Amino acid sequence: MKPTGFLCSPRMYEYDGWFFEIHSYCGPSPLNKDGNPRKTLPGRIFWKMYDRFAKLTKCQQNRYRVGGGCQAL
């Protein structure tokens, strides 16, 4: 069966006690454990963690990926 399309969503990661997504347009955003966006904006602690995460190689980042991305239909 050949893919007829793709369904894409932001990639989700769990790293250093944080659950977050990285959207291709909007960038990183912290999520609640149920996958919904947090009601408050991220503070310095989140951005310090994200700086450490961003310094990892793509292969290392993929170890912490828990969902999202593109799937062939």
Taking only the tens place, the pLDDT of each residue in 4-28 is 898 999 999 999 999 999 998 889 9
How confident is the model at residue 60, as a pLDDT?
98
Interatomic CA distance for residues 29 and 43, integer angstroms: 11
Higher-confidence residue: 65 or 43?
65
DSSP 4-57: --EEEEEEEEEETTEEEEEETTTEEEEB-TTSPBPSS---HHHHHHHHHHHTS-
Q: Map tokens 């408050």 to a residue.
A: 40
Higher-confidence residue: 48 or 2?
48
In terms of Cβ atoms closer than 10 Å to its own Cβ (0-12, 13-18, 19+), residue 6 is: exposed
pTM here is 0.85
